[in-house]
Structure 1
Amino acid sequence: MKLVIVNENEAGQRLDKLLAKYLSEAPKSFVYKMLRKKNITLNDKKANGNEKTALHDEIRFFLSDETFDKFSKKNEDIPKINKSRKLQVIYEDKHILLLNKPANMLSQKAKSSDISINEEMLAYLLESNQITSEELRTFRPAVCNRLDRNTSGLIVAGKSLTGLQTMAEVFKDRSLHKYYLCLVSGEVAGEQTIDGWLTKDEKHNKVQISREYTEGALPIHTRYTPLERKNGVTLLKVWLITGRSHQIRAHLASIGHPIIGDSKYGNRKVNLKYEASYGVKYQMLHSYQLVMPQIKGDLEYLSGREFTAKVPPIFENVFGKVFDVNAGCNSGS
Structure 2
Amino acid sequence: MKEIIVTKNEAGQRLDKLLKKYMNNAPDSFFYKMLRKKNIVLNGKKAAGREKLTEGDCIKLFLSDETIGKFTAKKSRGVPGSPPSRRTALDVIYEDPDILLINKPAGMLSQKAGKDDVSAVEHVISYLLRTGAVTEEELRLFRPSVCNRLDRNTSGLIIAGKSLPGSQTMGELLKNRTLQKYYLCAVKGRITESKRLHGFLQKDEANNTVTVSGSGGVRIETEYFPLAWTKELTLLKVHLITGKTHQIRAHLASVGHPLLGDGKYGDPVFNEAYRKRYQICHQLLHAYQVVFPVMEGNCREVSGKTFTAKVPAVFWHLIKETAWEHGTQEALEVQH
Corresponding residue of 2:59:
59
Moved more, 125-134 or 222-231: 222-231
The 2-side partners of 1:46 and 1:228 are apart by 68
Give CA-to-partner distance per residue, 1:284-321, whole Å, 9 cap, x none: 00010001123232222322111110000001111116
- Shift in Å at residue 25 of structure 1? 0.8
Asked if 1:192 corresponds to 2:195, the answer is yes
Asked if 1:279 corresponds to 2:285, the answer is no
Alignment of 1:86-165 (within 5 A): 86-165=89-168
Asked if 1:167 corresponds to 2:170, the answer is yes
The 1-side partners of 2:4 and 2:119 are apart by 31
Corresponding residue of 1:48:
48
Counterpart contact for 2:221–2:242, Cα < 8 Å: yes
The 2-side partners of 1:155 and 1:65 are apart by 39
The 2-side partners of 1:120 and 1:316 are apart by 25
Alignment of 1:237-256 (within 5 A): 237-256=237-256
Letter in 2 for 1:185: K
Give the alignment's TM-score, normalised by structure 1.
0.94
- Shift in Å at residue 7 of structure 1? 1.4
The 1-side partners of 2:318 and 2:198 are apart by 29
Off by >4 Å, runs of 4+ in structure 1: 80-84, 321-326
Give CA-to-partner distance per residue, 1:244-296, whole Å, 9 cap, x none: 11111011111111100000000000111111111000100001000112323
SS of match in other structure, 2:136: coil
Kindly, what percent of the aligned residue pairs are identical? 53
- Shift in Å at residue 2 of structure 1? 1.1
Q: CA RMSD in A?
A: 1.6
Letter in 1 for 2:234: T
Give the alignment's TM-score, normalised by structure 2.
0.93
Counterpart contact for 2:40–2:60, Cα < 8 Å: yes
Aligned length: 327
Which ranges in structure 2 are unaligned for 5 or more consecutive residues?
Answer: none
Corresponding residue of 1:183:
186
Asked if 1:210 corresponds to 2:213, the answer is yes
Counterpart contact for 1:81–1:124, Cα < 8 Å: no
Corresponding residue of 2:15:
15
Letter in 1 for 2:209: K
Give CA-to-partner distance per residue, 1:59-82, whole Å, 9 cap, x none: 111111111101112342522655
The 1-side partners of 2:220 and 2:46 are apart by 54
Give CA-to-partner distance per residue, 1:70-121, whole Å, 9 cap, x none: 1112342522655773110000000000000000110001111001111100
Letter in 1 for 2:319: F
Counterpart contact for 1:108–1:118, Cα < 8 Å: yes
The 2-side partners of 1:302 and 1:193 are apart by 28
Corresponding residue of 2:317:
317
The 2-side partners of 1:12 and 1:256 are apart by 49
The 2-side partners of 1:152 and 1:311 are apart by 8
Alignment of 1:229-268 (within 5 A): 229-268=229-268
Counterpart contact for 2:193–2:225, Cα < 8 Å: yes
The 2-side partners of 1:220 and 1:272 are apart by 30
Moved more, 271-280 or 52-61: 52-61
Moved more, 313-322 or 198-207: 313-322
